[in-house]
């Protein structure tokens, strides 16, 4: 494992990253506060408690949606923001009000999504029974929500359905759906850890993860493939011990594929909205850089 010059990465982030990612990396490196992260994240929150405004940079609709709120949930998780913080309480309110009882899911995108710049894969909502992002949102409610709320019971029901799916599907699980299952498992471990069904689902999850993780390191920074870090965002977490060596290999490979700003180019593209896509690329570079620095710190890899 090569030594890693994080100063150059942070310097590159200062050129392209959003203030949100700058606050996140400053907090990560003990140069900033959690409250600064909260204040930046709140700028993406709407009055209804949900999140929008391009927090997930492939979708620029300002209105609240499931996928944008999912992105906020992951930032809250990463920074261990308190469940009693007003921002988190408002988010839970949004999830309570936006749950669709007819499909037992949250909708991923807002109905007027196509009126704003977006990646082609967000042109349509797709399969309404997909667990992306609903499994992750349900896990978030179990970890951060009040057990007395009606949405808590609905979240537990969705989680039972998700665990059954993990245990019984014979097909390869779609990569984004699988990531949501990983996040769900991480969130519910404290509550479910003594349940045999949960422990069996965790073992099956490792098999599902191994099935979709691309092992050819030559493809990791060339094509839109499922890198180890696509599923494992921190350590310790589900799969981080099993795939520890592979995660280290990815980080080692990553520092051979930096661009001129010492960041990482994305491996996907929009064919429309060129001006918006140009900004989205910059935003993604900031997010990816933060995620690598967070993983490097979690894994205890030497840095300069």
Q: Do residues 82 and 88 touch, judged by C-beta distance below 8 A? A: yes
Residue 224 three-state SS? coil
Q: Are residues 152 and 282 in the same domain?
A: no
> Are 147 and 238 contained in the same domain?
no
Two structure tokens written together for 253 = 């490979």
Query: Which one has a higher pLDDT value, 113 or 297?
Result: 297
Out of 212, 245, 277, pick the residue that ends a domain.
Answer: 212
Judgement on whether residues 63 and 199 belong to the same structural domain of the protein: yes
pTM (predicted TM-score): 0.97
Claim to verify: residue 51 and residue 199 sit in the same structural domain = yes
| CB of 151 closer than 8 Å to CB of 100 | no
- 96 and 242, same structural domain? no
The reply to whether 68 and 151 lie within a common domain is yes
- Count of domains in the chain? 2
Same domain (yes/no): 126, 115: yes
Same domain, 32 and 58: no
Q: Is the pLDDT of residue 302 over 70?
A: no
CA distances from 235 to 73, 191, 239, 293 (A): 18, 19, 9, 12
Q: How many CB atoms lie within 10 A of CB 264?
A: 21
> What is the structure's pLDDT at 301?
83
Place of tokens 């690598």: 292
Check if the beta carbon of residue 261 is closer than 8 Å to that of residue 16.
yes
- Going from the C-alpha of 233 to that of each of 58, 238, 278, 291, the distances in angstroms are 19, 10, 25, 7
Per-residue pLDDT tens digits for 191-219: 999 999 999 999 999 999 999 999 999 99
> What is the rounded distance in angstroms from the CA atom of residue 268 to the CA atom of residue 71?
19
Residue 280 has pLDDT above 50, yes or no: yes
- Of 94, 85, 186, 96, the closest CA to residue 135 belongs to 186
Q: What is the pLDDT of residue 113?
A: 86
SS3 4: strand
- Report d(CA 295, CA 36) in Å as an integer: 21
* Among candidate residues 166, 189, 212, the one where a domain is terminated: 212
> Residue 34: its pLDDT value, please?
97
157 in the same domain as 83: yes
Q: What is the mean pLDDT of residues 126-147?
A: 97
* 83-106 per-residue burial string, b: 16 or more CB within 10 A, e: under 16: eebebbebbbebbbebbeeeeebb
Q: Are residues 25 and 55 in the same domain?
A: no
pLDDT digits (tens, 9 = 90+) for 10-48: 999 999 999 999 999 999 999 999 999 999 999 999 999
Average pLDDT over residues 120-149: 95
Q: How far apart are CA 124 and CA 109, in angstroms?
A: 8
Lowest model confidence (mean pLDDT) among 3-7, 109-113, 200-204 = 3-7
Burial of residue 214 (number of CB atoms within 10 Å: 0-12, 13-18, 19+): middle
pLDDT of 304 higher than 50: no
Q: Domain range holding 232?
A: 1-43+221-304
Dig out the tokens for 205 from the structure.
């999850």
Give the model's confidence band at 5: pLDDT under 50 very low, under 70 low, under 90 confident, else very high.
Answer: confident
DSSP 105-140: B--SS-TTGGGS-B-GGGSS---TT--TTHHHHHHH
Query: Per residue in 272-296, is it b (16+ CB within 10 Å) or e — as a string?
Result: ebeebbebbbbbbbbbbbbbbbbbb
164 and 57 co-located in one domain: yes
| Boundary-marking domain end, from 212, 239, 271 | 212
Upstream peptide bond of 61 is cis (omega within 30 degrees of 0): no
């Amino acid at each position: 494992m090569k030594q890693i010059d994080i100063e150059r990465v942070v310097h590159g982030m200062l050129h392209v990253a959003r203030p949100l990612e700058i606050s996140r990396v400053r907090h990560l490196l003990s140069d900033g506060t959690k409250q600064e992260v909260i204040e930046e994240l709140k700028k993406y929150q709407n009055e209804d408690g949900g999140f929008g405004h391009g927090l997930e940079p492939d979708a620029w609709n300002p209105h609240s949606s499931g996928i944008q709120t999912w992105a906020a949930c992951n930032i809250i998780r990463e920074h261990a923001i308190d469940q009693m913080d007003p921002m988190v309480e408002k988010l839970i309110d949004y999830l309570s009000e936006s749950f669709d009882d007819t499909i037992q899911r949250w909708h991923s995108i807002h109905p007027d999504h196509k009126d704003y710049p977006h990646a082609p894969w967000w042109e349509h909502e797709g399969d309404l029974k997909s667990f992306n992002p609903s499994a992750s949102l349900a896990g978030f409610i179990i970890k951060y929500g009040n057990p007395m709320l009606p949405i808590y019971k609905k979240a537990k029901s969705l989680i039972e359905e998700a665990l059954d799916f993990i245990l019984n599907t014979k097909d390869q699980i779609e990569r984004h759906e699988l990531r949501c299952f990983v996040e769900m498992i991480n969130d519910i471990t404290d509550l479910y850890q003594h349940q045999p069904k949960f422990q069996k689902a965790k073992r099956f999850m490792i098999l599902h993860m191994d099935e979709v993780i691309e092992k050819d390191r030559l493809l990791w920074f060339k094509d839109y493939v499922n890198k180890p870090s696509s599923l494992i965002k921190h350590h310790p977490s589900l799969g981080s011990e099993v795939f520890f060596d592979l995660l280290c290999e990815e980080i080692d490979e990553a520092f051979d594929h930096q661009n001129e700003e010492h960041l990482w180019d994305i491996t996907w593209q929009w064919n429309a909205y060129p001006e918006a896509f140009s900004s989205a690329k910059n935003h993604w570079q900031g997010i990816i850089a933060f995620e690598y620095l967070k993983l490097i710190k979690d894994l205890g890899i030497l840095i300069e």
